[in-house]
Amino acid sequence: MGKTFLKIAAVYFSIGVLLGMTMGIIHDFRLTSVHAHVNLLGWVSSAIFGLIYSVYPFAAKTKLAKTHFWLHNIGLPVMMIGLVCETFGITAGLPVMIVGSLAVVVGTLLFTTNIFKMINASRIQKANDLNM
């Protein structure tokens, strides 16, 4: 799960900076909030998830981690599609954005639960490995 999160973070980073560069070139900043969310929830948050799951491989193997991965990476693109529609005045944008953001929020709560449960388990396992 750590490596998968890091790979998808790099993809969000490319999309985020390409969008930022395009907005700058064409002098149209209407998609600034899409750019900011792709960079912060997509690139920065996913890279941090990936690094945490790499440091705590125990936490990365749980069902909570897998569910978190899918909720985050289905929820965020859906949320961004909703935000783009909202920005261009398409009425369906708001409910789409709400559905996507709910998925991201639920995923985040699962991530938090996973961290609280598994970080101690990782420490106990490491101590067992070292025969401490």
In angstroms, what is the minimal distance from the CB of 48 to ligand HEM?
Answer: 11
The residue within the footprint of ligand HEM, chosen from 3, 30, 40, 112 (CB under 6 A), is 40
Task: Say if CB 58 and CB 129 are below 8 A apart.
Answer: no
Binding status of residue 48 toward ligand HEM by CB under 6 A: no
What is the number of alpha carbons within 13 Å of residue 6 lying toward its C-beta? 10
Distances (CA, A) of 61 to 29, 30, 69, 114: 40, 40, 11, 10
The residue within the footprint of ligand HEM, chosen from 14, 30, 36, 124 (CB under 6 A), is 36
Closest residue to bound ligand HEM by CB: 20
Phi, psi (deg, nearest 5) at residue 27: 55, 45
Binding status of residue 46 toward ligand HEM by CB under 6 A: no
Residues forming contacts to ligand HEM in the complex (CB under 6 A) are 16-17, 20-21, 23-24, 29, 32, 35-36, 39-40, 43-44
